[in-house]
Amino acid sequence: MANAYAALVKPPTELDALSRSMLTAFAELVQASGLGPVADLGCGPGRVTAHLAGLGVSPIGIDVSPKMIELARTAFPDLPFSVGSITALEFADDALGGILAFYPTHHTPPELLPLVFAEFYRTLAPGGHLLLVGHVGSGEHRRPTQAYGGLPVSFESYRLPPGQLAELLNRAGFTIDAQLVQEPDEKLTWKIASFLAHKPISQEAGLTS
């Protein structure tokens, strides 16, 4: 369904104003840190990866779908893209200046989120920034059978409460700097939450422990 997804999903320039602002703030924080590249995890067809590049950061797109990566490489041949899983990132410890997780984790079973967030923490440099965005709710578990124009699909979606996600990020070691919850409206079909967080430097961790 990669082609249908790419045809139907809005480009970053057509997102709501708050979502665009969070992406811009994240890019500015990463640039100010000067720590390294940004991993766009669950990059899909690469449009958000390219948007990040346009905001002045050095992105690397990662997606579990080989077809998505094929589309991304075709559309943006000057940017790096690789097939990979958010449960086992192929980056060294402290290698990244930023991580963007733009709607991949609500498809992850909740019991695997501690592993995923531990991978985010491991690969992010001290002082590096994370932007996590995804659908939230009150614990709903959805199993759609059709999507993206009526195509048959087989995937799951978990709409966890924002507070639960915040707690998991804190347990992984992150410091949350900002949290935005957006209610459904004429542009948003589902309730979404965005978290701007960072990996503390050792001195900061010592001061707050």
Q: How far is CA 117 from CA 30, 112, 165, in A?
A: 19, 9, 10
Instruction: For residue 34, give the amino acid letter.
Output: G
Q: How far apart are the first and last CA of the chain?
A: 46
- Please report the pLDDT score of residue 157 as a whole number: 79
Give the domain 2-199 fold. Answer: Rossmann fold (3.40.50)
Q: How far is 183 from 99, CA to CA, in rounded Å?
A: 24
Helix (H) or strand (E) holding 49: helix 47-54
CB 91 within 8 A of CB 38: no
% residues pLDDT > 90 (the chain): 70
pLDDT, tens digit, 9 for 90 and up, residues 112-168:
999 999 999 999 999 999 999 999 988 887 776 666 667 676 677 789 999 999 999
For 92, the 3-state DSSP assignment is: coil
| pLDDT higher than 60, residue 203 | no
Give me the phi and psi of 112, to 5 degrees please: -95, -10
